[in-house]
Structure 1
Amino acid sequence: MLSLSSNQLSGSIPASIGNLSALTAIAAFSNNLTGSIPPLKRLSSLSYLGLASNNLGGTIPSWLGNLSSLTALDLQSNGFVGCVPESLGDLQFLEAISLADNKLRCRIPDSFGNLHELIELYLDNNELEGSLPISLFNLSSLEMLNIQDNNLTGVFPPDMGDRLPNLQQFLVSKNQFHGLIPPSLCNLSMIQVIQTVDNFLSGTIPQCLGRNQNMLSVVNFDGNQLEATTDADWSFLTSLTNCSNMILIDVSINKLQGVLPKAIGNMSTQLEYFGITNNNITGTIPESIGNLVNLDELDMENNLLMGSLPASLSNLKKLNRLSLSNNNFSGSIPVTLGNLTKLTILLLSTNALSGAIPSTLSNCPLEMVDLSYNNLSGPIPKELFLISTISSFLYLAHNKLNGNLPSEVGNLKNLGELDLSNNSISGKIPTTIGECQSLQYLNLSGNFLEGTIPPSLEQLRGLLVLDLSQNNLSGTIPRFLGSMIGLSTLNLSSNDFEGEVPKDGIFLNATATSVMGNNDLCGGAPQLKLPKCSNQTKHGLSSKIIIIIIAGSAILFLILFTCFALRRRTKLRRANPKIPLSDEQHMRVSYAQLSKATNSFASENLIGVGSFGAVYKGRIGISDQQMVVAVKVLNLQQAGAYRSFDAECEALRCIRHRNLVKILTVCSGIDFQGSDFKALVFEFLPNGNLDQWLHKLLEEGEPKVLNLVERLQIAIDVASALEYLHQHKPCPIVHCDLKPSNILLDNDMVAHVGDFGLARFLHQEHSNSSDKSTGWNAIRGTIGYVAPEYGLGNEVSIHGDVYSYGILLLEMFTGKRPTNSEFGEVLTLHEYVETALPDQTTSVIDQSLLDATWNSEGTAQKYHDIEEIRTECIVSILKVGILCSKEIPTDRMQIGDALRELQAIRDRFDTHQL
């Protein structure tokens, strides 16, 4: 045996090793070996070859299939290209193969079916494509099947459970498998782990699962399209109660509905993780949940659960994470939660919880606490600030908390984020706040705080965001705020500050600073547009007149104050300007985290390139769970990139709509070379963008086509998003760059409008004339979609978005880009379609929308009457597109009218006819 593992070896593998004919094993993993694998054909006795975790390249040599004595092959974590050689099928006595992390761009060869003695098969973390060869399911001796993290597709054979009787681990996560979970999996008596995370599996979970599988310990169906509506659909949970070794059940991010069965309390007491997040599950949490005494994590957020939190939760002495956010829970937070002496993460936001925050929570070693968006009342217990372990965040925003902010807040020396916004907290900001040395985000907006900004805030050297808006703070704005180097967002609006605004640091960035609503401020940077400060004294008035004026003003003030004080407070609350990103649960990430998540922004993770940067797919770990995200990295060398980043942050911080992309967080810092780095992190939408679907760019040789119903629904989704933006309060938002590549599609083909890098609030547009001279601002949009009036220097308006939407509609149903060369330099897409209506409509319609309809067996059928119905429907849609893309802005249809018209078209042409 030749053992060279973990010895920091470099260079290529000597070809002379191939002369050691008696060698039985080579272990050289975890080195820095390069080059290709040299010929080892003469090593007929070789039973183990381990070259994992190196930098080997080239193709995997086909002669490996001649090493008939080989029992284990481990080539994971290298850089091989090309296909797995079919000659590996000659290794009839092979017991283990591992080709993980080698980025193989090919299909799994059919010859793998010849490995009749194969026990373990590892092909994980590559780029394997295509469906699984049916011959693979003839390997009756197979115990381990690990094909995770690839691009494999297809369905699983219905009888796979009968053909792989010895299978113990079925690991197929993070691929593109679809279809049903085969009920024959219930026949795998030896099965221990079933893991199908992040695929497209549908249908119900087999009811028999776990019935005769006592060894089953992990069932993870997270991130699919599985369904449950009736009690029968949920009976799989009852079957899983037979599995005494069960430690993990996760059915999160599916389409499960109905009531959670009481059977969950009968699960194995060994259960450590139970997850049902991101479904539509109703009902209450059964009191029997307290029987799961070994539970470490309970994740039920983003459902429709209701009722009170069961008191039996206090029995879960080993619970580390309790996540019940975004449900309809009511009642009070149980005082007995203080018995959970291992609880580090408590997430109860966005419910209807009421009553006081239990002081007993101080018994828990909490690190993350989110109780925001509830109806909690009473003062904040000082005991909460005595939990020294709180480090990541403490969110209590949007409740009815009152009283003073306890001075004990200074005990949270490791706290990163504190959000107490939109409560009724009064009194002064305690000076002890300066002792929170790790604080990066501080939001105290929307309260009744008074007095001055304490000088101790200057001690918060790591502070990035400070929001003190909508309070009763007074005095002058401290100059030290301008010297806080890391401060990137400052909101002091709607207070009673007076005097001169500082002119350095954050105050030079009008986009990042807000001081509006302070009537006695003056000076500052010109971009703030405040009146100039004047030191001149008024002459010619006697002291008696001055006294009379002062006294009269005071009396008038007292009269008006009584009438308008409460009204002003209510108005400010309703206006709620500039909701920061941190108002809801989110994560903060660094450059290092994003670099790791995207494998150093590797090209294989690149999913798109735009005007101001590139978008990468990545995986970020959150509380031991992996979240798939899209990371938009700004190219700061591109003119206007900084402004684009600011514009996108400004827009996305204010908007929430099901048809808009969901931003998770932003990163603004420096990279490993010390250069500026800015990125936005979004929820990853797996079905790409509309441009790819319309112009068949998703898979070469296997184009995917959107049918008429799908296109109409996408058009309605986009119109719904635009209507929301154009009616946004207090300021309408103009997208300025609506086009197919900026419309992303989720698992259910629901459209989400993205890329707000050119977006504008209308009030900002009218007040910022300096933009008009910049190249970044010269053309608001993309050629072909940009409204013609923008080319004449007109200010942006909602009419410009409507024009872009009209062009988008025409493109969606003609299949032609607005920049298509056949239009020439004179004819536009609008004119091309308008000229064809009504006599030559079929000549401009995308023919794939008229060619065929499909019955349940998938057979194409042409019907003349269906073609007429489809044509009539499409013509109606095209007319909307023409009305939206009129040349004169005021002649265009309102987006709300367009939305309602499209909805009427959908209803008029019943979708089953299309």
Structure 2
Amino acid sequence: MQPLFLLFLFSSASSLRLAGNEVDRLSLLAFRAEIVTDTLGILSSWNESLHFCHWPGITCGRRHQRVTVLDLQSSGLAGHLSPHIGNLSFLRALYLQNNSFSHTIPPEIGRLFRLERLFLYNNSFSGQIPFNISHCSNLQYLDLFGNTLSGELPTEIASLSKLQFLQLGVNNFCGKIPPSFGNLSSLQKLSASVNNLHRGIPNSLGQLKSLTHFLLNENYLNGTIPPSIYNLSSIKVIYMYQNNLHGTLPPGLGHTIFPNLQTFVFHTNQFTGPVRASISNASNLSLFSISSNKFIGKVPSLARLSNLYWLDLQENNLGNNEEGDLDFVSSLVNCTNLEVLSVGHNNFGGVLPESISNLSTNLREIGFHENQIRGNIPIGVGNLINVERLGFFANLLAGTIPNSIGKQSKLYGLFLDWNELSGNVPSSLGNLTSLSSLTLNSNKLNGSIPQSLGDCRFMIYLDLSHNNLSGPIPKHVINLPVYLNLSGNQLTESIPMEVGNLQHLVFLDVSENKLSGEIPQSLGSCISLTTLSLRENLLQGTIPKSLSSLRGIEDFDLSRNNLSGIIPNYLGSFPFLQNLNLSFNDFEGVVPIQGVFKNASAVSVVGNTRLCGGIPHLRLPKCISKQSKRGLSPKVILIISVSCGVVGLVLVLLLALLYRSRKARALKSTSGSSLGVSLLRLSYGDLLKATDGFSASNLIGAGSFGSVYKGILNQHEERNVAVKVLNLQTSRASKSFIAECETLKSIRHRNLVKLLTACSSIDFQGNDFKALVYEFMVNGSLDEWLHISAEEVDRPANLPKTLNLTQRVNIAIDVACALDYLHNRSHMPIVHCDIKPNNILLDSDMTACVGDFGLARYLRDASCPSPLHDSSSNVRKGTIGYTPPEYGMGGEVSTYGDVYSYGILLLEMLTGKRPTDDMFNGGMDLHNFVMMALPERVGVICDPLLVQIEESSCSTNPISNRGNHAPNDRRKRVVKCLTSIARLGVACSVAMPRERKDMSNVVAELSLIRDVLNGTRMPSEYP
């Protein structure tokens, strides 16, 4: 009997094991069934030819052959997390981070009682955390960072007695922190940053004796920090910034309290009281930030903080405006790792100690701005050769600017404005070849502007206003900036013609000088200008016609000069012009009544005694015609009027007949064209001549199906065109030619390139020749503005093309409007299929137009994924990096694909990184790169050039230095808009097609973002 019994037991155990294996296999297949996107093709290899324990991402136990680890992190997966995951009863680790999972976390996950590690961060899970997650009694690591989870934090989490790591940051959790979290006796890291948590910090958290990392920043927490928290002697990292906390720092901080402290960040709260001397005992402290609070008094010696690399005390009430306030700076000489020293916007007095010259050579950023510091800038400051940003603005510094600053070759921001500095601007500043922002305004500097500043080839922001500078404006210098302010000096001679080279110039102010001569015609080439002020000079002559190209201008001031002539009508057509000041000149004639001239509060023409007309609110005399002055009788006027009417009628009839005959001839001449797009009749010879024999010097681009040349047509008058010559040896080039003609002949939109004609002929060797002729876009492609080529880097005379945030938003709106038209508003929905920076062209006004319709498809309707032709999966449907994942798996073309490409384009405009950048590998892509940075680290991943431009406009505006908080408001709006753009780009480029946004909604959101950026809406109005 015994052998039979043992056989029975063995058979039963084997059956149970086989049954368990089958459950795991079926559960994994059910998991795969909920995945709609598998970018890397990992799950496609889950097939019956291999045991599931050998499937990629699966680890099984040796004894039972049951799944113990499911590791699919960074695998490009999108879909739902199947409830069948709860059947993997032997699972100990689940790694699904860095994917695009959405919807809720299934409550069945609570069945995994063996689970120890659950990593779901950087996905799109929504809803609440399942309450029964408390059944996972062995859970040690729970990371839900970077999702859209909401609701209150479940108190049931407190029963996870083995939990060591709890990461809940960057979600939408609300309510309070459950006091029961104090029962998590094994917890080492608690992070709930960037949520909507409110009320106070529970006193019970002081029971977490093992806690080393405590992160609650960017919530709505208030009240004081419970005394029990200061008993957590194991704390190494503590983040509580951007809340509404208040109170004082305890006396024993860094000594008896937090003796292991490494990182202490409390900035942007309401803390007050002194900085305790005991902080110097925290010998392990490396990062100390208490900015934007209400701390008072002197800063103690920090000599013992030898590991300190970041010290941020700015925006408090520290210091007593007396000698000795800056003695603590000398104690920092021992901090050899120090990289950031920021003590600006306090009440520090006294002089800068000479010991600043002996600080760590690792220093990258020094900020002593907005204090009451007197004396000279120490000459030895030039010894800090690795400094990148140096800010002493808004103090009482006197003396000269040390020549030694010219040794800081890595310096890109030098801010010395609003002081009492005198002497010359050192020519040694020309050695700062990385310098992008220089503000010396509102000092007592004299002499001429050094020519050497022209060697700072990356200069973006240059402000020398309100000094006593004299002499001419150097031609070499004026070739550089995007923002240039030379106002309030004694500059003489004329404005250099070279100003026309600044096609990227956004702000130009040379007011309150002694400049003479005429307004240069070349100024019309500065098509990016939004602010132009030539006020209070000795300028004469008329307003040039060339300025009609400045259609982006918002503020235009020509007041208090000797200008004459009539006021050009084109000023009334500027769509963004908000302030126009022409007062105290010698203008004459009729004042226009259109555009900005409709608003009397936006226009000033006082002091021009020979003006007339305009709207009544301007209170100008009526204009009197010459006939009225001669006193013609009513009878004569009647005769003249009737005669003019008769003659006018005859002319109208003649013109109508002429128009009909010309139209008939035109129809006859083009009746043989199957393309229906010809406005010009051009032969191969015409295009050969126009492009100088398709010269390499005229080559402006090359693509998959051909090359593009710049050409000049001379049929009637010289006209610049772009000629796309098809390479007919390339597969599908002819189909591309036909597709582009068929598409562009039936659509018209301001944000689509204009096809002038098509040429289908033979060349002089008898070979087939096909070409498309477009309107030439003088500012090239968006790609040229986002990425500096190797050639540009090697040419020191060239300033790289730059786009500020406003320009990038406008371009994004233009492209979105074009796609909205193609998808939703044309006679039949059209999918472009190749949205990328090279196919976005910019005209003279920086208006963006979408081009290259060689891959375009017609659809039956806007959401239907089935095109009418060319739908096979083996046809190329875009460019690597911009092509949506579903196309790579044989999916049909749809408008969702364009939305994906647009989302990647938007993220590229934000980050300055191509989707094919070398950094994107191992499952990391541009979409995930940005998504992981949302929302708190967007500034870190933004295009550095964009950050420099916006930082300059936010932090160096002199208004900020005299109590006006507008720049702070601007900074908030910029940060809000950058974050919003990042979210929109991520939302457009999600893996699942039907979860992407519609382009009409994209246009609406971007318009709102632009309103917030321009200040016409509050940031709070954007969700």
TM-score bucket (shorter structure): 0.5 to 0.7
Q: Do the aligned partners of 1:257 and 1:282 also contact (CA within 8 Å) in 2?
A: yes
Which of the numbers 182, 194, 199 marks the counterpart of 2:288?
Answer: 194
Q: Which residue of 1 aligns with 2:614?
A: 524
CA distance in 2, matches of 1:625, 1:413: 16
Structure 1 residue 44 and structure 2 residue 114: aligned?
A: no
Deviations 1:816-861 (A, max 9, x none): xxxxxxxxxxxxxxxxxxxxxxxxxxxxxxxxxxxxxxxxxxxxxx
- Which structure has the greater CA radius of gyration? 2
CA distance in 2, matches of 1:432, 1:619: 42
Secondary structure at the aligned position of 2:149 is classed as: coil
Amino acid corresponding to residue 530 of structure 1 in structure 2? L
Q: Which residue of 2 aligns with 1:742?
A: none
Amino acid corresponding to residue 250 of structure 2 in structure 1? P
The offset of 1:6, in angstroms, is: 3.0
CA distance in 1, matches of 2:307, 2:1007: 52
Q: Which residue of 1 aligns with 2:1005?
A: 672
CA distance in 1, matches of 2:340, 2:112: 47
Amino acid corresponding to residue 252 of structure 1 in structure 2? G
Q: Do the aligned partners of 2:412 and 2:437 also contact (CA within 8 Å) in 1?
A: yes
- Please identify runs of 4+ aligned residues in structure 1 that moved more than 4 A: 228-231, 537-540, 587-593, 618-627, 653-671, 673-682
Identity of aligned residues (%): 41
CA distance in 2, matches of 1:664, 1:42: 48
Q: Which residue of 1 aligns with 2:177?
A: 84
- Mapping of residues 43-62 of structure 1, within 5 Å: 43-62=136-155
Which of the numbers 332, 345, 350 marks the counterpart of 2:437?
Answer: 345
Q: Do the aligned partners of 1:113 and 1:138 also contact (CA within 8 Å) in 2?
A: yes
Q: Which residue of 1 aligns with 2:306?
A: 214
CA distance in 2, matches of 1:383, 1:665: 35
Amino acid corresponding to residue 1005 of structure 2 in structure 1? F
Q: Do the aligned partners of 1:201 and 1:226 also contact (CA within 8 Å) in 2?
A: yes
Q: Do the aligned partners of 1:443 and 1:466 also contact (CA within 8 Å) in 2?
A: yes
Q: Do the aligned partners of 2:960 and 2:967 also contact (CA within 8 Å) in 1?
A: no
Q: Do the aligned partners of 1:665 and 1:680 also contact (CA within 8 Å) in 2?
A: no
Alpha-carbon distance change, 438 to 539 in structure 1, aligned in 2, over 3 angstroms: closer
Q: Do the aligned partners of 2:134 and 2:156 also contact (CA within 8 Å) in 1?
A: yes
CA distance in 2, matches of 1:267, 1:149: 30
Q: Do the aligned partners of 2:805 and 2:950 also contact (CA within 8 Å) in 1?
A: no
Q: Do the aligned partners of 1:205 and 1:227 also contact (CA within 8 Å) in 2?
A: yes
Q: Do the aligned partners of 1:589 and 1:665 also contact (CA within 8 Å) in 2?
A: no
Secondary structure at the aligned position of 2:409 is classed as: coil
Deviations 1:700-757 (A, max 9, x none): xxxxxxxxxxxxxxxxxxxxxxxxxxxxxxxxxxxxxxxxxxxxxxxxxxxxxxxxxx
Q: Which residue of 2 aligns with 1:410?
A: 500
Secondary structure at the aligned position of 1:128 is classed as: strand
Alpha-carbon distance change, 662 to 77 in structure 1, aligned in 2, over 3 angstroms: closer
TM-score by length of 1: 0.61
CA distance in 1, matches of 2:960, 2:267: 31
The offset of 1:323, in angstroms, is: 0.3
The offset of 1:430, in angstroms, is: 0.8
The offset of 1:656, in angstroms, is: 12
Alpha-carbon distance change, 654 to 475 in structure 1, aligned in 2, over 3 angstroms: farther
Q: Which residue of 1 aligns with 2:519?
A: 429
CA distance in 2, matches of 1:104, 1:626: 31
CA distance in 2, matches of 1:591, 1:625: 12
Amino acid corresponding to residue 506 of structure 1 in structure 2? V
The offset of 1:55, in angstroms, is: 1.9
Alpha-carbon distance change, 143 to 85 in structure 1, aligned in 2, over 3 angstroms: same
Alpha-carbon distance change, 186 to 296 in structure 1, aligned in 2, over 3 angstroms: same
Secondary structure at the aligned position of 2:315 is classed as: coil
CA distance in 2, matches of 1:624, 1:157: 39
Secondary structure at the aligned position of 1:142 is classed as: coil
Structure 1 residue 127 and structure 2 residue 220: aligned?
A: yes
CA distance in 2, matches of 1:218, 1:418: 37
Alpha-carbon distance change, 460 to 177 in structure 1, aligned in 2, over 3 angstroms: same
The offset of 1:536, in angstroms, is: 3.1
Alpha-carbon distance change, 487 to 418 in structure 1, aligned in 2, over 3 angstroms: same
CA distance in 2, matches of 1:164, 1:657: 37
Q: Which residue of 2 aligns with 1:108?
A: 201
Q: Which residue of 2 aligns with 1:147?
A: 240
Which of the numbers 267, 275, 286 marks the counterpart of 2:359?
Answer: 267
Structure 1 residue 28 and structure 2 residue 120: aligned?
A: yes
Alpha-carbon distance change, 539 to 64 in structure 1, aligned in 2, over 3 angstroms: closer
Q: Do the aligned partners of 1:132 and 1:154 also contact (CA within 8 Å) in 2?
A: yes
Alpha-carbon distance change, 441 to 73 in structure 1, aligned in 2, over 3 angstroms: same
Alpha-carbon distance change, 338 to 101 in structure 1, aligned in 2, over 3 angstroms: same
Structure 1 residue 243 and structure 2 residue 335: aligned?
A: yes
Q: Which residue of 2 aligns with 1:226?
A: 318
Q: Do the aligned partners of 2:461 and 2:949 also contact (CA within 8 Å) in 1?
A: no
CA distance in 2, matches of 1:501, 1:404: 28
Alpha-carbon distance change, 265 to 149 in structure 1, aligned in 2, over 3 angstroms: same
Q: Which residue of 2 aligns with 1:291?
A: 383
Gaps of at least 5 residues in structure 2 are 1-92, 632-803, 811-935, 940-945, 978-1002, 1019-1023
Count matched residues.
Answer: 587
Amino acid corresponding to residue 376 of structure 1 in structure 2? L
How well do the aligned residues superpose, as a CA RMSD in angstroms? 3.3
Secondary structure at the aligned position of 1:428 is classed as: coil
Alpha-carbon distance change, 657 to 131 in structure 1, aligned in 2, over 3 angstroms: closer
CA distance in 1, matches of 2:479, 2:375: 35
Amino acid corresponding to residue 123 of structure 2 in structure 1? N
Secondary structure at the aligned position of 1:241 is classed as: helix
The offset of 1:484, in angstroms, is: 1.8
Secondary structure at the aligned position of 1:427 is classed as: coil
Q: Which residue of 1 aligns with 2:578?
A: 488
Q: Do the aligned partners of 1:619 and 1:626 also contact (CA within 8 Å) in 2?
A: no
Which of the numbers 591, 594, 609 marks the counterpart of 1:501?
Answer: 591
Alpha-carbon distance change, 128 to 592 in structure 1, aligned in 2, over 3 angstroms: farther
Alpha-carbon distance change, 384 to 657 in structure 1, aligned in 2, over 3 angstroms: closer
Secondary structure at the aligned position of 2:334 is classed as: coil
Alpha-carbon distance change, 157 to 63 in structure 1, aligned in 2, over 3 angstroms: same
Q: Do the aligned partners of 2:959 and 2:967 also contact (CA within 8 Å) in 1?
A: no
- Mapping of residues 815-834 of structure 1, within 5 Å: none
Structure 1 residue 205 and structure 2 residue 299: aligned?
A: yes
Amino acid corresponding to residue 292 of structure 2 in structure 1? D
TM-score by length of 2: 0.54
Secondary structure at the aligned position of 1:112 is classed as: helix
Amino acid corresponding to residue 396 of structure 2 in structure 1? L
The offset of 1:299, in angstroms, is: 0.6
The offset of 1:415, in angstroms, is: 0.9
Secondary structure at the aligned position of 1:89 is classed as: helix
The offset of 1:664, in angstroms, is: 7.2
Q: Which residue of 2 aligns with 1:731?
A: none
- Mapping of residues 525-674 of structure 1, within 5 Å: 525-536=615-626, 672=1005, 674=1007
Higher relative contact order (CA 8 A, sep 6+): 2
- Deviating more after overlay: 71-80 vs 230-239: 230-239
Alpha-carbon distance change, 462 to 661 in structure 1, aligned in 2, over 3 angstroms: closer
CA distance in 2, matches of 1:656, 1:88: 44
Q: Which residue of 1 aligns with 2:891?
A: none
Deviations 1:416-460 (A, max 9, x none): 110011101000111110111111111111111111111110111
CA distance in 1, matches of 2:287, 2:959: 41
Gaps of at least 5 residues in structure 1 are 541-586, 594-617, 631-652, 685-914
Deviations 1:663-714 (A, max 9, x none): 87889999737589589869x9xxxxxxxxxxxxxxxxxxxxxxxxxxxxxx
Amino acid corresponding to residue 253 of structure 1 in structure 2? H
- Deviating more after overlay: 24-33 vs 152-161: 24-33
Which of the numbers 450, 460, 480 marks the counterpart of 2:550?
Answer: 460
Amino acid corresponding to residue 475 of structure 2 in structure 1? K
CA distance in 1, matches of 2:196, 2:171: 8
Amino acid corresponding to residue 400 of structure 2 in structure 1? S
